[in-house]
Chains A and B, each alone.
Chain A
Amino acid sequence: MTAVATEDSTELTLLLAQIVTGAADGKATAWFNEALGALATGYDRNAFLAAYAGADRRLRAFDATLSAADIKRLEMLGTRALEEWPLSRFARCAFISTVLGATPAMDHAAILDEIFRSGDNSEREALLAGLAAFPDPTRFLETAIESCRSNVETVFAAIACENAYPSLYFPEASFNQMVMKTVFIGLPLARVVGLEGRRNSELSRMAEHFAAEREAAGREVPSDLDLITANVRPA
């Protein structure tokens, strides 16, 4: 399981922008293009966070139409379930991608962390769902691990489910915690991308202890737990 991260964000911005303008009406397209153009010429923190926040309200009436080539390219970058993305998510990722192209690399981790910190749920989800596609994604590891501490199910699922980022970049301890939380809150393990390749003996032990705890409490053990307990590959 590999992802081909972009060297710079120009191609990604163009791809995402074309998806947005291909679906939105004239008024929403004009708003999007103006915001994107302003971000490309210089970083204004408040303007960026405002455009990022306002995208859902302006674009929620429209659905993205994705070509097979679009999907293939974006999946190569580590994103998944693109047909379920609201159009605003493509727009928000285009804004991020543009800002990454217009600001010094040393600022990038802080810029993305602030989006997570200051966003409402859908803003947080857009960032997490797109995270693997941005250049040099390991820079955003701290934000990604922090996002796993959210118990807003949709926010947690945006990083843990249908997203290759954790299996590609998480250290083992963080990956294991995320997988166990997925089990704990009742999301299917089949939604964790790359789980098979990241199985390890510690995760197996945690799963077995979880099963024992549930059994002792007279509670149900999720039927998909054997995805991480049985036939563990040697570490």
Chain B
Amino acid sequence: MKMFDPHIHMTSRTTDDYQAMAAAGIAAVIEPAFWLGQPRTNAGSFEDYFLSLVGWERFRAAQFGIRHFCTMALNPKEANNEALADDVMAMLPRFLEKDGVVAVGEIGYDDMSAAEERRILEHFELAREFELPVLIHTPHRDKKRGTERTLDLIRDAGFPEQLTLVDHNNEETLPLVLATACWAGHSIYPNTKMSEARMVELVKQYGDERIIINSAADWGVSDPLKVPKTVAAMQEAGIGDESIETIVWRNPIEFFAQSGRLDIDADASLPKVDQSRLWEGNSVLRGQDPRIDG
């Protein structure tokens, strides 16, 4: 089965991960811009990070036959550093113009501060200007209240709900999101956000409409194979393949194709795996024979 992991931070992952993901059927990924685990000290760090998302990381993914897209934004946590945030917001338009940028994100609340809220609204304006959907992170702490406030903010700002993917849902927040026209993402994590078994129960209860799953794998304890593992759990639980494919392939494509930039149906032009290519002097290979698909 062909799968899409529409939220994964590949810059934090190894080539072993890429290899395992490709072997498990993951054909495309979206890497949302986020924070680095510690605060950045200057806007130049954002610039280099954004460039790596459309440069080196895209090339690395292609070497394993995986299509790599990204979303660009100032992340919620660093929205609280006002001076830095001003510089990053000024830089975003020229990155939102770049090829393969399929949404504004991830944005949203972290502490639910006034600064975070102001930046969310500014991102909505950028999304309108660039005709892009948005990917919204929901907070870890006070999650239900944070999700309610997020949905209120979308409505009050008049941002189109069908262009909004509200991510990291759980049993308590999913019904709130489905009551709107927003799409609902679920990050399947080893211990915290959502597990395979819990996700199976949610799909049984709510079906497949506007439901999306991802691994949200990053530099923390996380698993880049959670999408295929959840597929396996859904199959074991007797959920039909048609429905599973809707969740792990058709839904993310339908949502992000609203950008007009997700040329994923050009499947025939999927990059052939060619590990003999180099990037900025760095091969992803260290001595082993390159794999080249003929």
Residues of A within 8 A of B (CB): 46, 49-51, 53-54, 56-57, 118, 120-122, 149-153, 185
Contacts and interface: CB of A to CB of B under 8 A. Distances in A.
B90 A46 contact: yes
B97 A151 contact: no
Contacts of A57: 97, 99, 261
**Which of under 10, 10 to 19, 20 to 34, or 35 or more describes the interface residues of B?**
20 to 34
A151 B281 contact: yes
6 tightest CB-CB pairs across the interface, nearest first? A151-B278, A54-B97, A53-B97, A50-B94, A49-B94, A151-B281
B54 A46 contact: no
Contact of B277 (A46, A56, A153): A153
22 contacts: A46-B90, A46-B94, A50-B93, A50-B94, A51-B97, A53-B94, A53-B95, A53-B98, A54-B97, A54-B98, A56-B99, A118-B47, A120-B54, A120-B98, A150-B280, A150-B281, A151-B280, A151-B281, A152-B59, A152-B277, A152-B280, A185-B278
A51 B280 CA distance: 25
Given A120-B54, A120-B99, A151 B94 contact: no
A215 to B, nearest CB: 21
A122 B59 CA distance: 13
Contacts, number: 48
Contacts of B99: 53, 56-57, 120, 122
Contacts of B12: none
Nearest to A152: B279
Interface of B: 47, 51, 54-55, 59, 90-91, 93-95, 97-99, 261, 277-283
Contacts of A185: 278
Contact of A153 (B47, B54, B278, B282): B278
Contacts of B281: 149-151
* Main SS class of interface, A: helix
B97 A50 contact: yes
A53 B50 CA distance: 14
A55 B75 CA distance: 27
B249 to A, nearest CB: 24
Contact of A121 (B55, B91, B278): B55
B37 to A, nearest CB: 25
B278 A46 contact: no
A126 to B, nearest CB: 12
Nearest to A45: B94
A216 to B, nearest CB: 18
A49 B50 CA distance: 14
B98 A46 contact: no
Nearest to B277: A153
Nearest to B274: A153
Contacts of A152: 59, 277-280
